[in-house]
Amino acid sequence: MQSLSFLRLLFNHWDRLYPISKSTRMKKILTFLFLIVALSTFAQEKTLNSILIKIKIGQGGQFYTADETWINKYLPASGKNPIVTFDIEGGSRSGEILTISNIGKSFTDRDVAFTPIKGFWSDFNNNVAPFIESITQDVMVYRAEYSNSSFDEAYDKCMNTIYEIKGIGSYKAFTDVRKKFPKVFDKLGWKIKCFTTTTGTYRLIVSRGLPNGWKDLDDTSADFTTAYDQVYGKGSYEKDEVILSSWQTRVDKHMLTKNNALSSK
């Protein structure tokens, strides 16, 4: 409401504040409004940190015990930065764990420095890190326009497919096709959340949530190509797949199962 009052005041007194022509005035007003909308949209991005942890061979038991103790002490669900952890099965990261942090933070939120409580890092370095072989991390952005499942919908089991996005310049042809997918997901009854990386190699992560667990994958009657053509017309998938294949390459696919012990609680 305060923003609306400010805009009314600005419009009502613009002539007195800036004695310029009507056309120039309108251009400036529209530019000003565009900036407000752009900044608002930027602040509303939903992001997360994707942290892949490879545990040293033969030290999984020690790692799980130490990590659970550390999480319970420093990262409770009621805290400022709760985490969710998944065990990875299959693909190039099989046997590793995926920890999600900074869940739902906008980029504006990220301007606020995280100040861990005393002992946070020293405890991790002394008691958890010795069992870790490597850690890789990326910042990801939720892509609502590619998804039919909201950011806040959570599933204990997911199937993730990772694509590397190729090329330079405008991605419009690629994004236009990807924006058509949610209607097909709806038709198939799939729950899909999509993310793109802001850091590292430009990748698209397509995460299918499985509300009923792995048994959802036993239904082999669903045919994406047929459903796509039913929604957009015969031959649509074949045409659009040509566009997609020139922009994306599938680089990995794995199954995720939530690890409750290593998640905030």
What digits encode the pLDDT tens for the residues 85-104? 999 999 999 999 999 999 99
Pure H helices in 13-119: 14-17, 22-43, 60-74
Residue 10 has pLDDT above 80, yes or no: no
The pLDDT of 41-62, averaged and rounded, is 90
d(Cα 180, Cα 194) in Å, to the nearest integer?
Answer: 13
Asked whether residue 8 falls in the same domain as residue 94, the answer is no
DSSP 8-state code for residue 261: G
Q: What is the pLDDT of residue 35?
A: 53
Residue with tokens 């015990």: 65
Here the CATH number for the domain that contains residue 182 is 3.30.70
Helix (H) or strand (E) holding 119: none
pTM to 2 decimal places:
0.82
Residues 79 and 162 in one domain: yes
Per-residue pLDDT, 118: 94
- If asked whether residues 116 and 201 sit together in one domain, one would say yes
State the pLDDT confidence band at 22, using cuts at 50, 70 and 90. Answer: low
Per the prediction, the chain carries an average pLDDT of 89
Measured CA to CA, the distance from residue 44 to residue 146 in angstroms comes to 16
Same domain, 14 and 90: no
Residues 171 and 239 occupy one common structural domain: yes
8/68 same-domain check: no
Residue 4: pLDDT band (50, 70, 90) is very low
Q: Total structural domains in the chain?
A: 2
Contact status, residue 121 vs residue 136, Cβ threshold 8 Å: no
User: d(Cα 205, Cα 143) in Å, to the nearest integer?
Assistant: 10
Q: Are residues 170 and 220 in the same domain?
A: yes
My answer on whether 8 and 135 are in the same domain is no
Claim to verify: residue 9 and residue 53 sit in the same structural domain: no
Do 60 and 38 fall within a single domain?
no
**Which domain range does residue 16 map to?**
2-43
Q: How confident is the model at residue 155 (pLDDT cuts 50, 70, 90)?
A: very high
The number of C-alpha atoms within 13 Å of 125 and in the hemisphere containing its C-beta is 4
12: exposed, middle or buried (Cβ count in 10 Å: 0-12, 13-18, 19+): exposed
Alpha helix locations (H) across 128-235? Answer: 172-178, 181-188, 224-232
Mean pLDDT across the stretch 204-221? Answer: 96
Sequence-separated (6 or more) residues with CB below 8 Å from residue 244: 174, 177, 178
Q: Are 243 and 66 in contact (CB under 8 A)?
A: no
> Are residues 99 and 227 located together in one domain of the fold?
yes
Mean pLDDT across 239-265? 97
Determine the 3-state secondary structure of 252 from DSSP: strand
- Counting residues of the chain whose pLDDT is more than 70, the rounded percentage is 84
| Residues 111 and 211 reside in one and the same domain | yes
pLDDT of the residue at 8? 47
Calculate what percentage of the chain has a pLDDT beyond 90: 78
User: Residue 3: its pLDDT value, please?
Assistant: 46
pLDDT above 80: residue 121: yes
Confidence of residue 51 (pLDDT cuts 50, 70, 90): very high
